[in-house]
Structure 1
Amino acid sequence: MLEPGIQGHAALRVTTENTARALGSGELDVLATPAVAALIEKACWKSVAGELDMGTGTVGTSLSLVHTAPTPIGMVVRCDCELTAVADRRLTFTARVYDDVSEVAHATHERYIVDNDRFTHKASAKLNAD
């Protein structure tokens, strides 16, 4: 059963592939905000994945992200997250992201528990919509 307090972690090294220049979110060779968002989502979904019923997963539905400091190529960034609220299928997390020097971002992230097959079928049905 999912209860507040579950914690998760994820990390990545800043490379040329996850910079603002490479991801199209800016011109500089520093960690891109979209890469920070993906790191937060990864930490959150992985933190609860093992607690879910077979055949279910989570999908991100909102992310309120504040990216406060740049991180250069070569550094590692780490995300620590915590499940702070559970309301039926809605999960709310807080997250903080750090490089070797300081906090570089913080966020609130919401995910929903879904039936994987049903969700995939719903998405695939859009390919046949007229």
Structure 2
Amino acid sequence: MTSASITHTVTPADTARALGSGDLDVLGTPRVLAWCEQATCAALDLPPEQTSVGTRVEIEHLAASPVGAVVTATATVVYEDGRLLRFQVVAHDAAGTLLANGEVRRVVVDRERFLSRITPVGD
């Protein structure tokens, strides 16, 4: 199976307080999700004319991480049907504690065709 991992150190900008998802100085769920999605993108090897877009996310944020913690998010393709990809995602800290797990779905699209359907704001 195709998989990829990314590693980040939690900074004050990654906290629930900074992201507006709470008032504690611990890793915020929106950042955990962003790191898991980053791992899904890293797991794909698409030609330049293609990209993928997220379509569904289900994440359980199970444990808190303080500023300074090292977090690794891993995404593994567990299902593929044409353009649809489902990834199992997990995040662990350096001690191996499971911080989050879930599933992210992405769809592979033609970059130009996708963007041609978007109407710029103000038009």
Pick the TM interval, shorter chain: over 0.9
User: Which of the residues 102, 111, 120 maps onto 2:106?
Assistant: 111
Is 1:54 equivalent to 2:51 in the alignment? no
TM-score, length-scaled by structure 1: 0.89
> SS of 2:27's equivalent?
coil
User: Which of the residues 18, 23, 45 maps onto 1:22?
Assistant: 18
> SS of 2:63's equivalent?
coil
How many residues get paired? 122
- Deviation at 1:106? 0.2
1:8-50 CA distance string (max 9 Å, x none): 11111111101000000000000000000000000001111x2
RMSD across aligned positions (CA): 1.2
Output the CA distance in 1 between the equivalents of 2:62 and 2:117: 37
Is 1:65 equivalent to 2:38 in the alignment? no
Output the CA distance in 2 between the equivalents of 1:119 and 1:28: 38
The equivalent of 1:85 in structure 2 is: 79
- In structure 1, stretches of 5+ residues that fail to align are none
> SS of 2:121's equivalent?
helix
What letter matches 2:103 in structure 1? T
Output the CA distance in 2 between the equivalents of 1:42 and 1:26: 22
Output the CA distance in 2 between the equivalents of 1:13 and 1:35: 11
The equivalent of 1:76 in structure 2 is: 70
> SS of 1:120's equivalent?
helix
> SS of 1:30's equivalent?
coil
Output the CA distance in 2 between the equivalents of 1:116 and 1:18: 29
> SS of 1:127's equivalent?
coil
TM-score, length-scaled by structure 2: 0.94
